[in-house]
Amino acid sequence: MLAAARDLLLREGPAAVTHQRVALQAEVGRATVYRHWPRPELLLLDAMALVDLPFFREPVTPVRPWLCQQLRVLADEMALPGVAGVALAMMQGSAGSLPVEVRDRFNSTAAGRIRAALELAAADGELDTTVEAQIALALLVGPILHRTCMQADTVSDDLIDRLVDSLGAWHLDVELPNRSHSTAPARTS
């Protein structure tokens, strides 16, 4: 059943990992899935422990529009009740709902990917920043978690722009070597 949940997660994202979909994929009764995972977020947590973090992979230049798109996907996923429950469970990992090692692995992976994106943007002259990767991750993801989980509200594109702007001075008018430019308007801080 976990293999079925993992496959659904990889192919279709967190919203696809439901008791009904996992039962169909694993060719078992839905009651069997419920017996092992009484709550949907527990099923998703166990499936997530088996897969790579689906966010902030392979940054491209210009980095700012890529980062905004990654945050938009994250915010849209966080708006789903089951995914929000998993995020809250991850934050409470030390309380036993998720092994601390899994939470730490996700955190380390995300911070490493953000570091790579910031380094790419800095190397291309797109961003001036001194923000460390862990702080950048908190600046970007923390407000999205708060907006979706605590305020039960949507994340606007304006909020995402403000979060990305908080990382430093963006210079999208800089000519990037041998790369296509985004049609997004240039922003400087």
Least confident of 8-17, 24-33, 154-163: 8-17
More confident site: 62 or 173: 62
| CA dist., res. 122 & res. 171, Å (int) | 10
The string of pLDDT tens digits covering residues 74-93 is: 999 888 776 776 676 666 65
Tell me which residue of 9, 99, 87 sits closest to 48, measured CA to CA: 9
DSSP string, 32-45: HHHHH-SSHHHHHH
Report pTM. 0.72
Domain chopping of the chain, boundaries:
1-49, 52-189
Q: What is the pLDDT of residue 188?
A: 46
pLDDT, greater one: 27 or 10: 27
Judged by DSSP in three states, 29 sits in coil
Q: Alpha-carbon distance 101 to 4, whole Å?
A: 23
Same fold, 1-49 and 52-189: no
Per-residue pLDDT reduced to its tens digit, 133-189: 999 999 999 999 999 988 989 999 999 999 999 999 999 776 655 444 443 444 444
Q: In the predicted model, what is the mean pLDDT of residues 48-54?
A: 73
DSSP track, 110-148: HHHHHHHHHHHHHHTTSEE----HHHHHHHHHHHHHIII
| Candidates 1.20.120.160, 3.90.79.10, 1.10.357.10, 3.30.465.10; CATH matching 52-189 | 1.10.357.10
Q: Which residue has the higher pLDDT, 36 or 189?
A: 36
Is pLDDT larger for residue 152 or for residue 131? 131
CA distances from 172 to 63, 100, 160 (A): 9, 39, 17
Instruction: Answer with the residue of higher pLDDT: 137 or 94.
Output: 137
pLDDT higher at 42 or 120: 120
| Mean pLDDT estimate for the chain | 84
Classify each residue of 155-167 as buried b or exposed e, where b means 16 or more C-beta atoms within 10 Å of its C-beta: beeebbeebbeeb
Domain 1-49 belongs to what architecture?
Orthogonal Bundle (1.10)
